[in-house]
Amino acid sequence: MTVSLEQLRRCQVAVDLGAARTRVFVKGMGLVVDEPSVAAVNTRTGSLLAVGTFAEQMTGRTPGYIRVVRPVSGGTVVDIDMARRMLGQLLGDKLRRRLRRTPNLRAAACTPHESDPLAQRATVETLVGLGARRVELVDTLIAAAVGCGLPVEQPTATMIMVCGAATTQIAVLSLGSIVTAERIPVGGEAIDRAVVQHLRQHHELLLPSQSVRPLQLALSGNGLFLDGPESTEIHGRDVATGLARSVRVETAAVREAINTPLTAVLDGIGRVLRGCPPDLVADLSDRGIMMVGGSALLPGLEQMLRNATGMPVNVAERPDICTVLGLGAMLEGKIEPMTLAPLTS
């Protein structure tokens, strides 16, 4: 994927179609959409009933003829038509019409590192369906690094970790390109799933997916991996009887449950470091790892990585929107090497 900054400057709109959230940046307007990548469809008529936050709230609460779908899965558009309709609705009538009227509309989109040609094609087709004449694809890792102000164009190594919902991408960057990178099919969703499964297996409790975040917060204290409260009470539904019930959940047991997905991430960091030339590894031990992506907000994850790797770890400011803002900065021509803020550790 080689796209020049010159080509990106000609784009008017930047899109990050994520497994969890869809974000759109319009040149001159900034971030205009940041909503869940969810659509609710009436299966009898095929019409779109709701998108974004409203559609997400419908999850698990709909009658049989309404289906809540996620057109993006594992960082890839899996239903092009639905993704296009969802994106159109999220933009709203006014903005959609404005973009359609733009002569020779060009769009930029980020795609996961080393995504296959089919996945890239699906992203392009989605945006073409919205009226784009040309679509430029940018590696998510590069967009994220620009978005959090890493000095990507300098001859020093920087390590970035994009913690998404479906994937975690880790890379060492130097001189504006990727030296080594790994894409691991584990993200925030896998961690949430591990918590839900733990409650099901050990407490025979069905936990609604929306309750995972409050549980993590209740257990976290100083972070899920440090000394927070020992246990907390959580409400759910009994697996056998279906009746509402509450149980006391131990912090240590939840920590144990999410160990498997976290080990996969730590293994990924190890592989990236092993594939990196020794001079760059020396830079990294000073500069450390910059975390971006929504899952970087998981309480205590930063400290856990610090303990496990012995390197400095920082979470970007607004890690969830870093990638789309980086793409936006490229569109607006704001990324001269000298304007990039130095990394603090």
Ligand X SMILES: Nc1ncnc2c1ncn2[C@@H]1O[C@H](COP(=O)(O)OP(=O)(O)OP(=O)(O)O)[C@@H](O)[C@H]1O
Q: Do 89 and 36 form a contact (C-beta atoms < 8 A)?
A: no
Interface with Mg ion (CB under 5 A), residue from 15, 17, 18, 24: 18
Query: Using only C-alpha atoms, what is the Rg of the chain?
Result: 21
Binding at 111: pick from ligand X, Mg ion, none (beta carbon under 5-8 Å per type): none
- Answer for which of 147, 149, 164, 187 binds Mg ion (CB under 5 A) is 164
What is the bridge-based pairing of β-strands 48-51 and 39-42?
Answer: antiparallel
Task: Render 179-199 in DSSP notation, one character per residue.
Answer: EEEEEES--HHHHHHHHHHHH
- Closer to ligand X by Cβ: residue 174 or 216: 216
For ligand X, the closer of residues 157 and 315 by Cβ is 315
Q: Cβ of residue 110: shortest distance to Mg ion, in angstroms?
A: 8
Token pair, residue 3, equals: 């796209």
- Which entry of ligand X, Mg ion, none binds 165, CB below 5 to 8 A by partner kind? ligand X
Q: Which residues bind ligand X (CB under 6 A)?
A: 18-21, 75, 164-167, 187-189, 192, 293-295, 297-298, 320
Q: How far is the CB of 341 from ligand X (least distance, A)?
A: 21
Output the six-digit token pair for 239: 């697996």
Residues 100-159 interacting with Mg ion (rule: CB under 5 A)? none
What DSSP character marks residue 319? G
Region class of 14: left (phi > 0), else alpha (psi between -120 and 50), else beta: beta
Tokens 């008529």 label which residue?
Answer: 45
Token match 């060009």: residue?
106
**Pick 294 or 328: Cβ nearer ligand X:** 294
Q: Which residue number, 15 or 335, has a Cβ lying nearer to Mg ion?
A: 15
Answer with the entry of Mg ion, ligand X, none that 295 interacts with (C-beta below 5 to 8 A by kind).
ligand X
Rule CB under 5 A: which residues touch Mg ion? 18, 164
